[in-house]
Amino acid sequence: MHLHHRLSLENIAEASRRIDPVFLHTPQYVSEGLSALFDCTLTLKIETLNPAGSFKGRGASYFTQKLETAARLVCASAGNFGQALAYCCRAKGIPLTVFAAVNANPLKVAKMREFGAEVLLEGEDFDEAKLAAAKWAQEHDAYLVVDGLQKEIAEGAGSLGVELLAAGTTYDVVVLPLGNGALLTGVARWVKAHSPGTRIIGVSSLHARAMHDSWKSGRIVTAADARTIADGIAVRIPIPEAVEDMQGLVDDVVLVSEESLQMAMQHLLLRERLLIEPAGAAAVAALLGYPELCRGLRAAIPACGGNLTTEQIRDIIQSL
């Protein structure tokens, strides 16, 4: 493990105290239905009961609190980080422009605008929107915020790990979605420091495997496309710093199919009465695809995003 890791344990602890309280102390409990399904003791942490509808508020809140510039911020988002950052910027009076792909989830786009962000739709996917945001930031002298790059975002996300362990339970395995890496690296940094025996597993989509391939190979691997229903983990161009942050902390990264993501959403609805978006259900999808990860063990996963379109909600219900 790194002697001097980019993510600070002190900052993660501070984040767990300083973040806007609406994003903190989310419910966590043993899911009897999922525990029975996977033959394990599975703790579920619900990250959807906040204004942004996902865990992203943790990192956005800590980042904006530590920010030393009054300049306009600009970011790219599939929708959840943009909502969270818009909510936190509005609270601090910071102007924000968000770039999203032309086919971005319309409900997420509408919510970003409701929270006061200027939203510009450009590019065919998240990574194209990200390039447009970087260009715009240069042209308008704005501060570019990149989820997964600024370490405060990952440190804020790490507060989820603080809460997970605070109850005194030790876990054999913690399974987390892997998009740009802030959630996985933030939680892994805290959990590995306080429970070194806990295995940390990241989850990528079979159709958006750039982060998985980069971590496995030890070099940055980009992909031509990332066509998955899980827009929150649809990354084509990994952030080198985020891949580096995973080293020594993450034990494995697994790939999940579109079918397992859909089944995971169904199980969360039927067994826990939760409407969870595909990326937010990725950890359940991983356990469906790799049941040996948790069989007979104490496991923990987040249900970390609930921003679905009406079509997605209809599809889940019709498929039951």
pLDDT (tens, 9 = 90+) of the chain, 320 residues, equals: 445 899 999 999 999 999 999 999 999 999 999 999 999 999 999 999 999 999 999 999 999 999 988 789 999 999 999 999 999 999 999 999 999 999 999 999 999 999 999 999 999 999 999 999 999 999 999 999 999 999 999 999 999 999 999 989 999 999 999 999 999 999 999 999 999 999 999 999 999 999 999 999 999 999 988 999 999 999 999 999 999 999 999 999 999 999 999 999 999 999 999 999 999 999 999 999 999 999 999 999 999 999 998 999 999 988 88
d(C-alpha 149, C-alpha 211), whole Å: 14
d(C-alpha 273, C-alpha 275), whole Å: 7
User: What are the extents of the domains in the chain?
Assistant: 9-54+152-318, 56-150
d(C-alpha 178, C-alpha 317), whole Å: 26
Among 129, 81, 125, 151, which Cα is nearest to 305's?
81
pLDDT at residue 319, rounded to an integer: 85
pLDDT at residue 3, rounded to an integer: 57
CB 99 within 8 A of CB 76: yes
Highest CATH level, class, for 56-150: alpha beta
Same topology for domains 9-54+152-318 and 56-150, yes or no? yes
pLDDT at residue 225, rounded to an integer: 87
Of the options 3.40.50.1100, 3.40.50.300, 3.40.30.10, 3.40.50.970, the CATH number for the domain spanning 9-54+152-318: 3.40.50.1100
d(C-alpha 230, C-alpha 76), whole Å: 16
d(C-alpha 82, C-alpha 296), whole Å: 38
